[in-house]
């Protein structure tokens, strides 16, 4: 069975490491903050000027003045701080974000990301996505494997307007986890009950197995080193 949205967020939370500064995109990626492994200290940053975000608030914790970049109410952990949006973007553009977990509309086998607009549909703007994909040291995309029309979102080439080229390191979907390698998508993990044939039938690109030549230069080559 494919992973549920909570299970997808929990799997994406396994990408976190102690001491990381992390930015979570709007939508499903914000749920990752609810699944931080016990004992792990992670500093979630929001481009609207917050550092030290916690999990989603309970009914008693809701503060309408405390909102993340997606306009959702959030919480603070001890030691958190608030500052201007300009400083929030300075953290991103200055290369101080270790990991960005973002939503996606399409990802190509070379790591191109389209995640901000569908032609013909109104959007208020790109937000911080363009800055994040070039400023964060590593980009993980968290999204469904298929779009609402049942079409693959993992593709040989993206069809939608790009947010960034060759910026994605890893993709977590409801069907599994795949790395972006120079040879294409490499399977890391499958959701329980999902077969390799399921993945390949729902992916518009090759899906390589561990142990193939793609492992010679794996997704670590996609980690961005910002000077």
Please list the active-site residues.
47
CB 108 within 8 A of CB 160: no
**Torsion sign across C-alpha atoms 206, 23, 150, 160:** negative
Separation of alpha carbons 101 and 157, rounded Å: 21
Q: Which tokens belong to 217?
A: 């230069």
**Torsion sign across C-alpha atoms 148, 151, 155, 160:** negative
Burial class (CB in 10 A: 0-12, 13-18, 19+), 130: middle
Separation of alpha carbons 205 and 171, rounded Å: 14
Separation of alpha carbons 22 and 190, rounded Å: 25
User: Which candidate, 77, 20, 26, places its Cα nearest to that of 53?
Assistant: 77
How far CA 52 is from CA of 4, 39, 111, in Å, comes to 27, 16, 29
Number of C-beta neighbours around residue 181 at 10 A:
24
């Amino acid at each position: 069975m494919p992973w549920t949205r909570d299970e997808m967020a929990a799997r994406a939370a396994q990408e976190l490491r102690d001491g990381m500064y992390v930015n979570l995109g709007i939508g499903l990626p914000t749920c990752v903050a609810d699944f931080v492994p016990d004992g792990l200290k992670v500093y979630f940053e929001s481009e609207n000027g917050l550092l030290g975000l916690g999990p989603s608030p309970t009914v008693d914790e809701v503060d309408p003045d405390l909102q993340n970049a997606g306009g959702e109410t959030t919480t603070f952990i001890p030691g958190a701080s608030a500052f201007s949006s300009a400083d929030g973007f300075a953290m991103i553009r200055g290369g101080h974000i270790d990991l960005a977990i973002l939503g996606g509309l399409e990802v190509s086998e070379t790591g191109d990301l389209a995640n901000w607009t569908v032609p013909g549909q109104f959007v208020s703007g790109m937000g911080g996505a363009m800055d994040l994909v070039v400023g964060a040291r590593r980009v993980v995309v968290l999204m469904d494997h298929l779009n609402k029309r049942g079409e693959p979102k993992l593709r040989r080439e993206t069809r939608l307007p790009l947010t960034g080229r060759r910026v994605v390191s890893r993709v977590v979907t409801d069907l599994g986890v795949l790395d972006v390698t120079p040879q294409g998508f490499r399977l890391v993990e499958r959701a329980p009950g999902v077969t390799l044939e399921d993945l390949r039938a729902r992916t518009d690109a090759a899906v390589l197995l561990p142990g193939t030549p793609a492992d010679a230069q794996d997704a670590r080559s996609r980690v961005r080193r910002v000077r």
